[in-house]
Amino acid sequence: MKTTLSIISETFENEATGEPVDGVTIIIDGLLREVVNTIINRSANYSSPLDVVQDALVRGLDSIRKEV
């Protein structure tokens, strides 16, 4: 089973301001999906794949921010 992570980027328009905003769709499959499910099953902090991915993204961005 392979690890699959597909990311699709789209640009949308903010209806209030008319400014373009970036939208990202993340598709998790394969081994990565199993890892996410394991995290959900072993931790009371996460109840969905969205919770795991959101926390991973925030933690990862914070780590990158500290490096730069």
Instruction: Kindly write down the DSSP assignment for every residue of 10-64, as one continuous string.
Output: EEEE-TTT--EEEEEEEEEEHHHHHHHHHHHHH-TT-SSHHHHHHHHHHHHHHHH
pLDDT band for 68, please (50, 70, 90 cuts): very high
Percent of the chain clearing pLDDT 70 (strictly above): 97
Query: pTM higher than 0.85 for the full model?
Result: no
pLDDT at 2: 73
Q: Residue 24: name the closest of 43, 38, 7 by CA.
A: 7
Taking only the tens place, the pLDDT of each residue in 8-21 is 999 999 999 999 99
CB neighbourhood size of 8 (10 A): 9
